[in-house]
Amino acid sequence: MMRIGLFLLTNIAVLLVLAVVMSLLGYTGITDETGMALDLEALLVFSALLGFGGSFVSLLLSKWMAKKMAGVQIIEEPSNQAEAWLVQTVRELARRADVGMPEVGVFPAQQANAFATGWNRNKALVAVSQGMLQRFSQDEIRAVMAHEIGHVANGDMITLSLVQGVLNTFVIFLSRVIGFFVDKVVFRNERGLGIGFFLTSIVMQILLGILASAIVAWFSRFREYRADAAGANLANRQGMINALRRLKAETELPNELPESMEAFGINQGMRSGLRAMFASHPPLDDRIRALEENRHG
């Protein structure tokens, strides 16, 4: 996920906006009356407000952003038999998973891919690429849609927001503690918050944010196994395995989801080295093996 996925990009943007707004409102209450010591309690409140604020605003915007970034066309009235079958299949799977009927859409990409997003498990969005709709069998598409409904039913976007909110809070808190220490000890600033604080805080927020992204990516990989298991239960295990094998066969095609949207797609392609640490999805071979061995179910 997070090269950085749409959710993280929105989260970062919201954090910056909230920080600017609080600065314009004159909130600098992270030091005591002397300016020579941090008010850790006030700093923690400040960090949590920014951290969880950024995360949950990102969650609320996720469906709207997904539509814009991927060019999703919502199926209001099916225009052909394939769209009618897709809507009916999603309706059946949503009923089985006990979630509200999501919006169903198609996005213009020839690579086989699909994603689900939304702040509410009863008001989600499920979208499939044009290429998948054209080339995959109905059993394979049904398994993929079951995987995406699994994400919705498992509340993965909400859980991700909570995880991201906690990590945001600690990133903001620790970066400012380190910045304050450098400002006072290294720069020997004896008045309020100096340039050392602001420069160090920015650098540390970037570095700690990268580490937080790796943690969120690990969490996302774990949830992919859970969504595969949900897909196997809602559709059927062999159908889910066949769909993942078909996705693997198509990994040589270019990924036409915007890079910021790759974190939400079922197929993220191959990752190696450091990139694997920030991949939102486990290798397809590992996912297939987990289903064959009935793990994570």
- Cβ–Cβ < 8 Å for 15, 168: yes
Residue 297 predicted with pLDDT over 80: no
Q: Tens digits of per-residue pLDDT, 248-278?
A: 888 765 555 555 455 455 555 555 566 778 8
Q: Please, is 76 exposed, middle or buried when counting C-beta atoms within 10 Å of its C-beta (0-12, 13-18, 19+)?
A: exposed
Q: How far apart are CA 250 and CA 269, in angstroms?
A: 9
Higher pLDDT, 230 or 269: 230
Highest mean pLDDT, choosing among 95-99, 118-122, 265-269 = 95-99
Q: Does pLDDT of 94 surpass 50?
A: yes
**pLDDT on residue 188:** 87
pLDDT at 3: 28
Q: Which helix or strand (DSSP H or E) is residue 237 part of?
A: helix 237-249
- The bridge status of strand 125-129 relative to strand 103-107 is parallel
Predicted local distance difference test score (pLDDT) of residue 282: 92
Convert 44-108 into a string of H (helix), E (strand) and C (coil). HHHHHHHHHHHHHHHHHHHHHHHHHHHCCEECCCCCCHHHHHHHHHHHHHHHHHCCCCCEEEEEC
Structure tokens at 68: 């814009």
Write the pLDDT tens digit of every residue in 1-58.
Answer: 322 355 666 666 666 666 666 665 556 567 776 667 888 988 998 899 888 988 888 8
Supply the mean pLDDT for the chain: 85
Q: Catalytic residue numbers?
A: 148
Please tell me the distance from the alpha carbon of residue 121 to that of residue 128, in angstroms, as a whole number: 18
Beta-strand relationship, 125-129 and 114-117: antiparallel
pLDDT exceeds 60 at position 214: yes
Q: Considering only CA atoms, which of 9, 8, 46 is closest in space to residue 27?
A: 46
Q: CA angle 86-144-3, nearest 5°?
A: 120
Sequence spans of domains, the chain: 1-71+158-297
Residue 154's pLDDT band (cuts 50, 70, 90): very high
CA–CA separation, 213 and 117 (whole Å): 19
